[in-house]
Amino acid sequence: MATKLNKKALDNALRLVKDKKIERDTRDDWSEHTPSADEENAFIDKNGFREFSQWHLGMDPEASEGTKGSVSFPFGDFKKVHRCAVISLESRAAQYGHSDIQKAAKDLLEKIDAD
């Protein structure tokens, strides 16, 4: 997989943090806070795939464009950045060798924790 940093999504996340749209949850909460497939589909139906993709720090240009498989590393619930999601995605990015995404997540987490 050729996953790359989705810079538009990173800009979105940084803007949300600046606007204090942050859920300060704990590390293991993401499994409970992550949007369900039905919630994702409803968001896509209402807002379009482009907006959906801006909630994922990873994108795979080799995957079929406009599919859920083309994005990865979600960081929020379509309203707020979740601290637990950023922690989770930083760890997964490191595990799979996506250093650009790992660094972006680390920087994002520092901004969340500095606020």
CA max distance for the chain? 37
Q: Could you give the angle at which helices 99-114 and 83-95 cross, rounded to 10 degrees?
A: 160
pLDDT of residue 30: 85
Domain total in the chain: 1
pLDDT at residue 83, rounded to an integer: 96
pLDDT in the model for residue 29: 85
Single out the residue of 107, 94, 4, 2 nearest to residue 57, CA to CA: 4
The residue segments making up the domain with residue 107 are 4-114
Neighbouring C-alpha atoms within 13 Å toward the C-beta of 46? 7
Bridge partners of 107?
none
Strand 81-82 and strand 22-23: the pairing is parallel
pLDDT in tens, the chain (115 residues): 589 999 999 999 999 999 999 999 877 788 888 999 999 999 999 999 999 999 999 999 999 989 999 999 999 999 999 999 999 999 999 999 999 999 999 999 999 999 6
